[in-house]
Chain A
Amino acid sequence: MDCTEVKRVLWPADVLRVSDSELEAALEHAEDCPDCGHFLEADRRLARLIRESVPREPAPAELRERLYTALARERAGSPGPRRRFRFGRWPTVAGALAVGTVVGAAIYWWGGQGAMPSATAFAEDYLRRVVEQEALVSGDPQEVSAFFARELGVALPPPVVPGYELQRATICLMNGRRGGVVEYAAGDRSFSYYLVPQDRPVTRRGNRVDVRMVDDSVTDPPFALGRARGLGVATWWDEEHRHALVGDLPVAELERLAPLFIDATLRL
Chain B
Amino acid sequence: MGQTFEELIGLHLDDLYSAALCFTQDARRAEELLQQASIRAFHEYRRARDQDFRRTMLGALVSTYLQSERRLGRDPLAPATAPGEEILYATAGREFEPFPDPGTPGYRLLRNWIGRVWSLLDDGDRLILWLADVERLRHGIVGEMVGVPEEEARDRHYRARLMLSQAAGRALSERTAGGAEA
Contacts and interface: CB of A to CB of B under 8 A. Distances in A.
Interface of A: 3-5, 7-8, 11-12, 15, 35, 38-39, 42-43, 45-60, 63-64, 66-68, 70-71, 74, 78, 81, 106, 108, 115, 118, 120-121, 124, 128, 130, 175-176
A237 B31 CA distance: 35
Contact of A58 (B14, B43, B165): B14
Given A52-B111, A55-B21, A67-B35, 17 more contacts: A4-B90, A12-B157, A46-B165, A53-B111, A53-B115, A53-B118, A54-B18, A55-B22, A59-B14, A63-B17, A70-B35, A71-B39, A81-B46, A118-B4, A121-B6, A124-B7, A130-B10
A68 B9 CA distance: 9
A43 B17 contact: no
Contact of B39 (A35, A57, A70, A128): A70
B35 to A, nearest CB: 6
Contacts of A35: 93
Nearest to B132: A12
A12 B85 CA distance: 14
B161 A12 contact: yes
Contact of A54 (B4, B42, B115): B115
A54 B133 CA distance: 10
B8 to A, nearest CB: 11
Identify whether the interface residues of A are mostly helix, strand, loop, or mixed: helix
Contacts of B129: 50
Contacts of A50: 114, 129, 133-134, 161, 164
Contacts of B161: 12, 43, 46-47, 50
B165 A55 contact: no
The number of chain B residues touching the other chain, given as a range, is 35 or more
A216 B42 CA distance: 36
A81 B134 CA distance: 33
Contacts of A66: 31, 35
Contacts of B130: 54
26 contacts: A7-B92, A11-B89, A11-B158, A38-B98, A39-B92, A42-B165, A43-B96, A46-B161, A49-B110, A49-B114, A50-B133, A53-B113, A54-B134, A56-B15, A56-B18, A57-B18, A59-B14, A59-B16, A63-B34, A67-B35, A81-B49, A115-B6, A120-B1, A120-B3, A124-B7, A130-B10
Given A60-B31, A70-B35, A49 B3 contact: no
B13 interface: yes
A71 B16 contact: no
Nearest to B85: A8
A196 to B, nearest CB: 13
Given A7-B89, A49-B114, A53-B114, A71 B6 contact: yes
Interface string B10-39: 110111111001100000000100110011
A64 B165 CA distance: 36
Nearest to A63: B31
Contact of B7 (A5, A54, A56, A121): A121
